Chain A
Amino acid sequence: MIKGLFKIIEEGFFRLIMFLSTCIIVFALFLIVYSILKKGIPSLSLEMLTQTPKGGFYFGKEGGILNAIIGSLYLSTGATFLALIISLPVALYMNVYLFSRKKIVNAVRFLLDLLWGIPSIVYGAFGFTIMILLGMKTSLLAGIIVITLLIIPIMVRAMDEGFKTVPLGLTESAASLGATKYEIAFKVFIRQCLPFVITALLLSFGRAIGDAASVLFTAGFTDRIPTSLTQQTATLPLSIFFQLSSPIPEVKNRAYAAAVVLTFIVLLISILSRILSGTYKKSSIKF
């Protein structure tokens, strides 16, 4: 009798803390977004979004973070594009050409997961050694290359997850009609998995724009908007980081406002990828 009662209490207790754990996770997200918005929105102004830093910006004088916003967009767009050129062929090769060699494909997947686990600061340090080796200076181009290396594993794995779902029948019908593997890859797989490809792109873009540790070494920092690939560039995460470490309250407030901008961009990407992948899913062939 006592034992039975204990059993019920035990289950009830664990159900309660399990429920609470889930609540903690949801609560943490809301707390983060809420506190960033609450701190940052009062300091957000049009001036901040449309101007580059003026003289004395880092002492609380006027100016904005346009250099960092544009710099980050350049950097992430460049890196996402470059990564696409590399990742798409690899993901297609794994699923179309290596179709019958599951062992090799699984080994590559394993390797990509390992690469994905390597911290971004290590990529940054590696990029730095390569730069020294080639005699390159910190620049937009160096930043783009390092970010590209960083997001390739993410992009390939995300596309691969999509390509995996292509039904065998579809590949077989295309092959039986005489399609080459190239045609199967680019005319069947890409069309069928367009939502996954788009999600992969947006996911990588989000990672690229938010990463700070890898560009610390490679992209430099400047108050001007870069006009060529060999110039240094500011990035949003680093701009937040530098401004927050300032002792001056006005500068700190601007860091909070910049954090709102970055959070907004990231949330926007997340929502966009959900909407887009939903819309394009309708056009794929179902079996």
Chain B
Amino acid sequence: MISLDRHIKNRISEVWMLIWLSFIIIMPALIGAGLYFKSSLLLKDKSLTDLLTSREWKPLSGKFGFYPFILSSLWVTVLSLVIAGPVCLLSAIHLTQYAKKAVLKIMRPVIDILAGIPSVIYGVWGVIVIVPFIARHSATLLGKQISGYSILAGSIVLSIMIIPFILNIMLEVFKSIPDELQEASLSLGASKWQTIKYVLIKKAFPGIISAMGLGLSRAFGETIAVLMVVGNVVKIPRGVLQPGYPLPALIANNYGEMLSIPMYDSALMFAALVLFFIVLVFNLASRILIVRFEKRI
């Protein structure tokens, strides 16, 4: 038995590491190419703008209009951000500026557990708590009975899911702002709140925006939880209490029959490609913003 020379071992491990590093580097391109390859069949047939703006969704007669799905996705995500964004911002200021260290210590596991709960559990929670809640209160508020499976239910569930994600980034952002800035403001006679309002938030603004952008892209791709509570009706939504049908739900709901209808699989892969592209762009913009922000400080 010849034992490997240390330096040979070193070389081998280096090559092995390099192989996997390059694998990871080409991964995004691979995903994009794979999805494009499958959806090219559909793209050959119809123009991109046609697919994205057409309202008709009739797979059996070969009509694939993604407009209702994209619009539903936008409704659900934007609304969830409207709910989660302010809560995260206020809580992040509270935790970094006012609360005692011990409170932040308790909050860490809370955030971690919220982030770790699987999306299907959020879905179950939505079905047993949020949907009946909306159904009950819509009857008294609007005077008509609805099922509760709606865009609003989807965005409430989604907002809780993205809270740990946004909050974590915001906490980092606020922590990275140097104390001197605040001290200068306080020494000029500004109150704590004035300092937060005029110095801290102003300084942290790019960070806050990118945290929201990352939350948005996370919400955009969330599948199972939204699928379970959002109603899944192919229609252009006209209000938050109406059912919607976001893109990820479309993909997940139809995987079973997609091979039996011509072009259907190609259409679903196109939906995945659109999703991939939108999420990537949002992520890229937010990450670049946050890197710039870190550099400036």
Bound-state CA distance A117–B117 (Å) is 17
By a CB distance below 8 angstroms, the chain A residues around B221 are 117-122
Bound-state CA distance A25–B164 (Å) is 9
Q: Are B34 and A121 in contact (CB under 8 A)?
A: no
Q: With A93-B18, A112-B24 known to touch, is A125 a contact of B90 (CB < 8 Å)?
A: no
29 interchain pairs, CB-CB under 8 A: A21-B90, A22-B99, A24-B87, A25-B91, A25-B110, A28-B160, A28-B163, A29-B114, A90-B17, A111-B24, A112-B24, A114-B287, A117-B221, A117-B280, A120-B221, A122-B35, A122-B279, A124-B251, A125-B251, A182-B13, A185-B13, A210-B120, A210-B121, A237-B118, A237-B119, A241-B228, A244-B124, A256-B124, A266-B118
Bound-state CA distance A117–B216 (Å) is 11
Q: Are A122 and B94 in contact (CB under 8 A)?
A: no
By a CB distance below 8 angstroms, the chain A residues around B38 are 129, 132
Q: A216: CB under 8 A from chain B?
A: yes
Q: B276 contacts which of A29, A108, A122, A238 (Cβ < 8 Å)?
A: A122
Q: Are B114 and A209 in contact (CB under 8 A)?
A: no
By a CB distance below 8 angstroms, the chain A residues around B112 are 270
Q: A7: CB under 8 A from chain B?
A: yes
Q: Are B87 and A14 in contact (CB under 8 A)?
A: no
Bound-state CA distance A227–B13 (Å) is 34
Q: B233: CB under 8 A from chain A?
A: no
Pick the interface stretch among B4-12, B61-69, B178-186: B4-12
Q: Which of A119-156 contact B (CB under 8 A)?
A: 119-126, 128-130, 132-133, 149, 152-153, 156
Q: Are A36 and B28 in contact (CB under 8 A)?
A: no
Q: Give the B interface residue count (CB, 8 A).
A: 84
Q: B120 contacts which of A111, A130, A241, A274 (Cβ < 8 Å)?
A: A241
Q: Are B91 and A36 in contact (CB under 8 A)?
A: no
Residue positions of B touching A, CB distance < 8 A: 6-7, 9-10, 13-14, 16-18, 20-21, 23-25, 27-28, 30-31, 34-35, 37-38, 86-88, 90-91, 93-95, 98-99, 103, 107, 109-114, 116-125, 127-129, 160, 163, 167, 191-194, 214, 217-218, 220-224, 228, 248, 251-252, 255, 268-269, 272, 275-276, 279-280, 283-284, 287, 291
For residue B274, which residue of chain A has the nearest CB?
A122
Residue positions of A touching B, CB distance < 8 A: 7, 10-11, 14-15, 17-22, 24-26, 28-29, 31-32, 35-36, 39, 86, 89-90, 92-94, 97, 108, 110-115, 117-126, 128-130, 132-133, 149, 152-153, 156, 180-183, 185-186, 203, 206-207, 209-213, 216-217, 237-238, 240-241, 244, 255-256, 259, 262-263, 266-267, 269-270, 274
Bound-state CA distance A126–B35 (Å) is 6
By a CB distance below 8 angstroms, the chain B residues around A125 are 35, 251, 268-269, 272
Q: Nearest chain B CB to A253's CB is how many angstroms away?
A: 11
Q: A89 contacts which of B17, B224, B283 (Cβ < 8 Å)?
A: B17
By a CB distance below 8 angstroms, the chain A residues around B269 are 125, 128-129
Q: With A129-B38, A216-B252, A216-B255 known to touch, is A22 a contact of B24 (CB < 8 Å)?
A: no
Q: Are A237 and B17 in contact (CB under 8 A)?
A: no
Q: A90 contacts which of B21, B217, B280 (Cβ < 8 Å)?
A: B21
Q: Are B224 and A237 in contact (CB under 8 A)?
A: yes
Q: B117 contacts which of A21, A124, A210, A274 (Cβ < 8 Å)?
A: A210
Bound-state CA distance A18–B107 (Å) is 14
By a CB distance below 8 angstroms, the chain B residues around A19 are 94, 98
Q: A32 contacts which of B14, B88, B93, B125 (Cβ < 8 Å)?
A: B125
Bound-state CA distance A129–B13 (Å) is 32
Bound-state CA distance A158–B86 (Å) is 28
Bound-state CA distance A125–B283 (Å) is 19
Bound-state CA distance A111–B31 (Å) is 13
Q: Nearest chain A CB to B26's CB is how many angstroms away?
A: 10
Q: Are B117 and A26 in contact (CB under 8 A)?
A: no
Q: Are B34 and A129 in contact (CB under 8 A)?
A: yes
The CB with the most chain B CB atoms within 10 A, among A22, A182, A209, is that of A22
By a CB distance below 8 angstroms, the chain B residues around A7 are 191, 193-194
Q: Nearest chain B CB to A183's CB is how many angstroms away?
A: 7
Bound-state CA distance A115–B128 (Å) is 33
By a CB distance below 8 angstroms, the chain B residues around A90 are 17, 20-21, 24
Bound-state CA distance A186–B9 (Å) is 11
Bound-state CA distance A46–B253 (Å) is 32
* Across the A-B interface, the 4 shortest Cβ-Cβ residue pairs: A119-B221, A210-B118, A125-B272, A18-B94
Q: With A117-B214, A213-B248 known to touch, is A18 a contact of B98 (CB < 8 Å)?
A: yes
By a CB distance below 8 angstroms, the chain A residues around B284 are 114
Q: With A156-B24, A255-B124 known to touch, is A113 a contact of B87 (CB < 8 Å)?
A: no
Q: Are B128 and A35 in contact (CB under 8 A)?
A: yes
